[in-house]
A and B are shown apart, each in its own frame.
Chain A
Amino acid sequence: MVNRKFIPLIVTCCLFFLLFGIGSIQFESFGTSRVFFNLLTDNAFLIIAAVGMTFVILSGGIDLSVGAVIALTGVISSVLISQYNWHPLAVFPFVLLLGTGFGAAMGALIYFYKLQPFIVTLAGMFLARGLASVISEESIPITHEFYDAVSMFGFELPGGAWIGTSTIICLLVLIAAIVVAHYTRFGGRVYALGGDNNSAALMGVPLASTTISIYATSSFLATLSGIVYSFYTFSGYSLAAVGVELDAIAAVVIGGTLLTGGYGYVIGTLVGVLIMGVVQTYISFDGTLSSWWTKIVIGILLFCFIAMQRVLSRGR
């Protein structure tokens, strides 16, 4: 008998293989390693952001500022690189520090003033987008040999699949997140917080530092996601990545993490993003289906997974 707690994760994985299988049967070039690794490459920034979101949702919170932080990161980096001639390697630690501070500030507001995560991160979203558009309303191109080198870097797998910088960063983040979530004290505290706030406090979980660290982690990863995003676009734009927070939340839910917190796996989030990617790839392969079907299918998937979570948690 399979352990009950793995059911959502197993369903998610089966669904991915089912969708990928359907695509492979219908289209000749669908079931190749190239298509699979392209899913990783195209969605690397989303995976990184969604991993951050996983920690927040595991703790019972939500972070709506992710997309805005991605855009703000792009704008600040491109201004520093293109207008102030900073080297990208100096810019990245700087923006990562800023991003982490931004998340920590949101976490502090949430913990110390007992405000709802939803409304605080909403304000954070406005603040980040607002700052980005104040810095520049136009898209700023990034031209730097470091960026050219980054886009050239990578190696080819047998079968024509390409592993680039974004994919490598995304896989490293994934491994680190799995270790942190499941094998460190901080990870345990995140789960405890999501299970029950009061019990966690009684168990001796330091609520203040844990809450602040969770939102700092989410914003740190959103900033990293913004850096990776700029590797695709070679620019920074204040209206970039609109709605990525929703994609990230959807990926976490489809990945089997319980929205009330305390239950779920980081690896599920990866599969969640991949499922959304497969739907998109299928629609672009088909050609007759229009792009808005992506939104509808993701909505239906979201519904099915939430309904399944209900049934499973009722049975417990």
Chain B
Amino acid sequence: MNAFLSNPQLRRYLWPVAGLLLLLLINLIISPEFFNLTFKDGRFYGSLIDVLNRAAPIALLAIGMTLVIATGGVDLSVGSVMAIAGAVSAYLIVSGVDSLTVIIAGGLAAGLVGGMINGLLVGYMNIQPIVATLILMVAGRGVAQLINEGQIVTFQHEAFSFLGTGYFLGLPFPIILVIITFVLVQLLMRRTALGLYVEAVGANASASRYLGINARAIKLSVYCLAGLCAALAGMIAAADIKGSDANNAGLWLELDAILAVVIGGASLMGGRFSLVLSIIGALIIQTLTVTIIMSGIPPKFNLLIKASAIILVLLMQSPRFQQQLSSLMLWRKRHG
């Protein structure tokens, strides 16, 4: 146990994993059937699968957001990009395109364009990330509404709906998509030097430039990746409801994605990142929501509990608070 705690690599996993386990334990106490998994008609059913399925959009956004935050940035536009991608694919379907490849490519292209705008603003024009992505956050919903002409566009397309409601290997398809995206991005980051470059840019942008890293191109590529992840999440959301709702698709999800990354222990100042921890963060957020519902607390307490959780996590990460906490412990040991 001590060896485990003294290994700084593993120690980072301690708090997020402990948090998730604690939440699961609470669920076990509240309702033991939470962990029931049934296998029927070639599909798994159960609360756990439900949590995973519902966490899929946040997890996808969190994957992209992790990289953006690792470069010391933040992307507020992912919710709007979700809406745009959903609107583009709905537009393509309604205007008679049948090829699934074209529809998905259209949605992803929308995400890529959004990500490129953000990346160019942040990387090449040196605009603060919060502000640069704020532009697309505000304008993006307008663009999505423009594509939808202000309506909620509904569609029928079996193959596309599979993205949101299909099952593959007994699991809901969104979960599979998260796993595929995670594996691809993880390979890209850890089997190539890209991950190291991202961390270098976040840790110290000017030092990384002296090392010969093209910090601008790195920033551009992480925002593009975040845009692609958001587009995928947006298409899942659209496929799930068989429609595109420009006003509500992905609303406030950018905040959940940022929270997932922060709960995963990443510093908002940039530097080291872990995709696994961010996904655990996304799971914590979704499990927390489910726990609140299961425990019979009215859902109106949802936001309040979430806010308290964020403040607690932020404080736990602050060196000053850790110091105060340990000196308080010492004081109690001496006087208690």
List residues 301-316 of chain A with CB under 8 A from any CB of chain B.
302-303, 306-307, 310
A115-B318 CB under 8 A given contacts A293-B142, A306-B132: yes
Partner of A298, one of B131, B138, B269: B138
Partner of A249, one of B126, B127, B134: B134
Q: Is the CB–CB distance between B139 and A296 below 8 Å?
A: yes
- B328: interface (CB < 8 Å): no
Q: Is the CB–CB distance between B141 and A113 below 8 Å?
A: no
Known interface pairs A250-B134, A291-B150, A295-B138; 7 further A-B residue pairs with C-beta atoms within 8 A, sorted by A's residue number: A114-B318, A119-B268, A126-B303, A134-B300, A137-B300, A290-B150, A310-B127
For A119, list chain B residues within 8 Å (CB).
258, 262, 268, 310, 314
Complex CA gap A175/B139 in Å reads: 32
Question: Interface majority SS on B: helix, strand, loop or mixed?
Answer: helix
Mark each residue of chain A from 250 to 277: 1 if its CB lies under 8 Å from any CB of chain B, else 0: 1001000001100000000000000000
List residues 298-325 of chain B with CB under 8 A from any CB of chain A.
300-308, 310-311, 314-315, 318-321
For B314, list chain A residues within 8 Å (CB).
109, 113, 115, 119-120, 123
For A127, list chain B residues within 8 Å (CB).
303-304, 307-308, 311
Q: Is the CB–CB distance between A302 and B134 below 8 Å?
A: yes
For B135, list chain A residues within 8 Å (CB).
299, 302-303, 306
Partner of B137, one of A246, A293, A310: A246
For B269, list chain A residues within 8 Å (CB).
116
Complex CA gap A259/B319 in Å reads: 28
For B20, list chain A residues within 8 Å (CB).
none
Partner of A295, one of B134, B142, B255: B142
Q: Is the CB–CB distance between A134 and B138 below 8 Å?
A: no
Q: Could you jot down 21 A-B contacts, CB within 8 Å?
A: A62-B130, A109-B315, A112-B320, A119-B268, A122-B258, A123-B307, A123-B311, A123-B314, A126-B255, A126-B304, A130-B303, A290-B146, A293-B142, A293-B146, A296-B142, A298-B139, A302-B134, A303-B121, A306-B121, A306-B131, A306-B132
A129-B303 CB under 8 A given contacts A119-B314, A123-B311, A290-B150: yes
- A139: interface (CB < 8 Å): no
Contact count band on A: 35 or more
A113-B315 CB under 8 A given contacts A126-B306, A130-B302, A292-B146: yes
Mark each residue of chain A from 229 to 240: 1 if its CB lies under 8 Å from any CB of chain B, else 0: 000000000000
Q: Is the CB–CB distance between A250 and B310 below 8 Å?
A: no
- A13: interface (CB < 8 Å): no
Closest 6 A/B residue pairs (Cβ): A299-B139, A295-B142, A130-B303, A130-B304, A126-B307, A292-B145
User: Which chain A residue lies CB-closest to B262?
Assistant: A119
- B185: interface (CB < 8 Å): no
Mark each residue of chain A from 215 to 240: 1 if its CB lies under 8 Å from any CB of chain B, else 0: 00000000000000000000000000
Mark each residue of chain B from 255 to 273: 1 if its CB lies under 8 Å from any CB of chain A, else 0: 1001000100000110000
Residue total for B at the interface (Cβ-Cβ under 8 A): 46
Q: Is the CB–CB distance between A310 and B125 below 8 Å?
A: yes
For A27, list chain B residues within 8 Å (CB).
none
- B152: interface (CB < 8 Å): no
Contacts from B to A (Cβ < 8 Å): 74, 121, 125-128, 130-132, 134-143, 145-146, 149-150, 246, 255, 258, 262, 268-269, 300-308, 310-311, 314-315, 318-321
Complex CA gap A313/B85 in Å reads: 35
Complex CA gap A293/B125 in Å reads: 26
User: Which chain B residue lies CB-closest to A113?
Assistant: B318
Complex CA gap A299/B262 in Å reads: 28
Q: A56: shortest Cβ distance to chain B, in Å? A: 13
- A169: interface (CB < 8 Å): no
For B268, list chain A residues within 8 Å (CB).
116, 118-119
Q: B263: shortest Cβ distance to chain A, in Å? A: 11
Complex CA gap A176/B138 in Å reads: 30
User: Which chain B residue lies CB-closest to A238?
Assistant: B300
